[in-house]
């Protein structure tokens, strides 16, 4: 049974699809996921390293700020439509699962017009354009944030479920906290702040952290800091600090080793980052990327803050003094524990498995 998984452009759209695809195969080895994405998205680099066959199309986003470039969008869509026809004709899929972004729209449209069941996985609390557009035709809509439902207009037969975002779940038996800290050179006591800005890094966060380290971290605070692969060099010399309380790395892989050691996280408010932090029960200081599409990261951060599961710190408020104050507040066990409990209550480590089970239930008749 072939299932088309489509979406990409960014990791926030591609990685949920990979998690769903792997969960589908675990649930039923007869499922054959096939990915459809764009030649210019992150999937160009990631999909060839995975176990899944894929088709990359000449797809472009809508150039809202430069509408004269939308001829590229139309030209790419016309050519890609024919390629999708050949793909669907070779083996009719049981379903098309869209995970968002401009890379998903055309395959979803092809599925809708050819009577193939379509499903949507929406990561953010503010659903993207693709999800909002196709919700009315979808058989299933899977939400990462329950708050996303208020902006959707699903069809009469569409089922909308807030299963959470599909991620690689924490291990069933959590790593020993003291051993995890020791692996990074941190003592058993004190507060470990994990700072991550995504694979590309976040310069605003990095610059503030650098100034904080140079001024001197508060006593008892330890910093595990991933700068992003392309931003590492300017901050590399800060590794170790004057007293060994700072670790600076370009990237954390596997990041589970860092989650196991962390008491608090400072991060962007991407949906997948939030899903992982909640699954691990780590309270977060969320600094949304102000230029994110439709300001969706601010919506994510506000949703978590309103639920008492995180602290929302807008980028324009991110200063050394403000960071010092917020981290100081979180050294209080009661305050930190309350945030951790609320974060854990929103964690959905089984989201990928639940989505896979619903997909298989929904297309059972199509799998014959």
Alpha-carbon dihedral 203, 205, 211, 214, rounded to 10 degrees: -100
For 65-92, the pLDDT digits (tens) are 777 776 776 776 777 889 999 999 999 9
Domain borders along the chain are: 2-169+350-367, 177-346
Name the more confident of 169 and 193: 193
Give the model's pLDDT for residue 263.
97
Tell me the three state secondary structure of residue 144.
coil
> To the nearest whole number, what is the mean pLDDT of the chain?
92
User: 45 to each of 19, 255, 322, how far by Cα in Å?
Assistant: 17, 20, 38
106 closest CA partner among 83, 140, 138 = 83
Asked if residue 367 has pLDDT above 60, the reply is no
For 216-271, the pLDDT digits (tens) are 999 999 999 999 888 999 999 999 877 889 999 998 878 899 999 999 999 999 99
Residue-wise burial string across 217-252, b where 16 or more C-beta atoms lie within 10 A, e elsewhere: beeebbbbbbbbeebbeebeebeebeeebbbbbbeb
CATH of 2-169+350-367, one of 3.40.50.9100, 3.40.50.620, 3.40.50.2000, 3.10.20.600: 3.40.50.2000
Q: Are 2-169+350-367 and 177-346 the same fold in CATH?
A: yes
Protein fold of 177-346: Rossmann fold (3.40.50)
User: 90 to each of 2, 87, 93, 338, how far by Cα in Å?
Assistant: 11, 5, 9, 54
């Amino acid at each position: 049974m072939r299932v088309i998984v489509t979406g990409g452009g960014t990791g926030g759209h591609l990685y949920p699809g990979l998690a769903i695809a792997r969960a589908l195969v675990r649930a039923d080895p007869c499922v054959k996921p096939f990915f459809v994405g764009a030649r210019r998205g992150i999937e160009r680099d990631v999909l060839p390293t995975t176990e899944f066959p894929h088709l990359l199309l000449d797809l472009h986003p809508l150039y809202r700020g430069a509408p004269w470039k939308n001829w590229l969008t139309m030209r790419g869509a016309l050519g890609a439509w024919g390629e999708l026809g050949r793909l669907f004709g070779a083996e009719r899929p049981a379903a098309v699962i869209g995970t968002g972004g401009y890379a998903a729209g055309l395959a979803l449209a092809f599925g809708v017009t050819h009577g193939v069941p379509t499903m949507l996985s929406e990561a953010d609390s503010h659903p993207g354009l693709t999800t909002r557009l196709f919700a009315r035709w979808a058989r299933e809509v899977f939400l990462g944030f329950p708050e996303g439902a208020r902006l959707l207009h699903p069809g009469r037969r569409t089922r909308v479920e807030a299963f959470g975002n599909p991620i690689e779940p924490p291990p069933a038996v959590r790593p020993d906290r003291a051993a995890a800290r020791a692996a990074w050179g941190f003592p058993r006591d004190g507060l470990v702040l994990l700072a991550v800005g995504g694979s590309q890094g976040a310069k605003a966060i990095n610059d503030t952290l650098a100034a904080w380290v140079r001024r001197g971290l508060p006593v008892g605070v330890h910093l595990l800091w991933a700068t992003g692969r392309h931003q590492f060099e300017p901050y590399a010399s800060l590794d170790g600090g004057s007293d060994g309380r700072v670790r600076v790395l370009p990237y954390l892989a596997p990041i589970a080793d860092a989650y196991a050691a962390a008491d608090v996280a400072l991060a962007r408010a991407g949906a997948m980052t939030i899903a992982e932090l909640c699954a691990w029960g780590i309270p977060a200081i969320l600094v949304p990327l102000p230029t994110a599409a439709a300001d969706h990261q601010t919506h994510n951060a506000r949703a978590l803050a309103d639920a008492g599961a995180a602290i929302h710190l807008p980028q324009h408020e991110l200063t050394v003094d403000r960071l010092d104050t917020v981290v100081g507040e979180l050294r209080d066990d009661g305050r930190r524990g309350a945030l951790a409990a609320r974060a854990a209550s929103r964690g959905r480590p089984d989201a990928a498995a639940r989505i896979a089970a619903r997909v298989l239930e929904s297309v059972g008749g199509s799998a014959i």
